[in-house]
Amino acid sequence: MSTGHWQVIPPELEDDGALIAAFLEEFQRTYQASFEGASEVNHQLPIITHAFRQLGEWRVFLLLTPWMLARVFVPNRDPGVSVPAEWRASVRQGRPYRVIGPGCDLDLLSGRQRAHLNFAPRIGHYLIHPLILSMLEFQTAEQVFAAWNRVIVTRNDNIKRLGRTNPQQEEISRREFFSAVSKR
């Protein structure tokens, strides 16, 4: 179901490599414009992506920046997500960066995921799920991914303790972690 207000990625970003390059360029620009002199971000951390994969109609990857680690969801077509008037492409053009926009739920994997609407003029609309927002304690990207892995391990331990299983989510989490580690 199309809402008519979701700006999909342009044709030149249908290639996975081009999409990743566009995100890296966009977030480098965002860093320079909004965070370069900020004391609340970790300037030692790079802007990188990891664990890129296709999940149904979504391209999903981790994005590490000096101000957050997040999971990014980019749909291949209009996902039917309601876009509030203040987040339509025509309104967001030229506006300052916002870390997260309005929240929404999407069905992905074996359950619902919570994510936040965002927009970049060159990319279009996408969803972002912040995983870590306080980056000051980390010295390297490896430390960030190790911290995220500890969250995954704790979550999996709690799932097992409660007698539940979610093998698909466990596999995705392992892939994210090992993809990040193996690229070092």
pLDDT at 152: 87
For residue 19, is it within any domain? Answer: yes
Helix (H) or strand (E) holding 171: helix 167-182
For residue 184, is it within any domain? Answer: no
pLDDT at 173: 58
Residue corresponding to tokens 């299983």: 165
pLDDT at 141: 96
What CATH number is associated with residue 49?
3.30.1460.40
For residue 4, is it within any domain? Answer: no
pLDDT at 84: 96
pLDDT at 1: 42
pLDDT at 2: 47
For residue 3, is it within any domain? Answer: no
pLDDT at 64: 98
Neighbour tally for 117: CB within 10 Å: 21
SS3 173: helix
Q: Please give the model's pTM, rounded to 2 decimal places.
A: 0.84
For residue 150, is it within any domain? Answer: no
Q: What is the domain range of residue 28?
A: 11-138
How big is the CA angle at 81 (ends 69 and 177), to the nearest 5 degrees?
25
pLDDT at 165: 59
pLDDT at 108: 72
For residue 118, is it within any domain? Answer: yes
Q: In the chain, how many domains are there?
A: 1
For residue 130, is it within any domain? Answer: yes
Sheet holding 111-120, edge to edge: 48-55, 58-65, 68-75, 124-132, 111-120, 103-108
For residue 157, is it within any domain? Answer: no
pLDDT at 166: 57
Q: Which portions of the chain are predicted below pLDDT 70?
A: 1-3, 109-110, 164-184
